[in-house]
Amino acid sequence: MTDTNDALANLTRIQRRERFDTCRAFGHSWSVQLTNDPEINNLVWKNYLRFDCSVCGAIRVDGLDAYNEVGQRRYITPDGYSYAKGETPTRAQFRGRVLPRLRREARNG
């Protein structure tokens, strides 16, 4: 199972976009585990780490060499996460998108 994780199950398109903007603004919230998933672990590297973002559903895969250096890194991102080349807003722009929601949440406790 490499099709991103289920963090986005049952969310509306707008809620998904809010999650994507949050990760773009502040970084992903990773949990990590060793994996032997054959879709991820192609046996080139000694160990494979799978990172799952609990906010946006992205997956990061790191292949570690015999010295535990990252020999390969790749990302599997959910549909709608990526932008066309040259069209990705800046981190500051993503923060600007997220701040109104954070203000509302701060007011509402």
Task: Please say which residue, 27 or 44, places its beta carbon nearer to Zn ion.
Answer: 27
Nearest distance from C-beta of residue 24 to Zn ion, angstroms: 8
Q: Which segments of the chain does DSSP mark as H helices, in order? A: 13-26, 91-108
Nearest distance from C-beta of residue 43 to Zn ion, angstroms: 27
Task: Please say which residue, 45 or 52, places its beta carbon nearer to Zn ion.
Answer: 52
Closest alpha carbon to 73 in 33, 108, 109, 40: 40
Rounded to an integer, what distance in angstroms lies between the CA atom of residue 8 and that of residue 77? 11
Per CB under 5 A, residues contacting Zn ion are 23, 28, 53, 55-56, 58
Nearest distance from C-beta of residue 23 to Zn ion, angstroms: 3
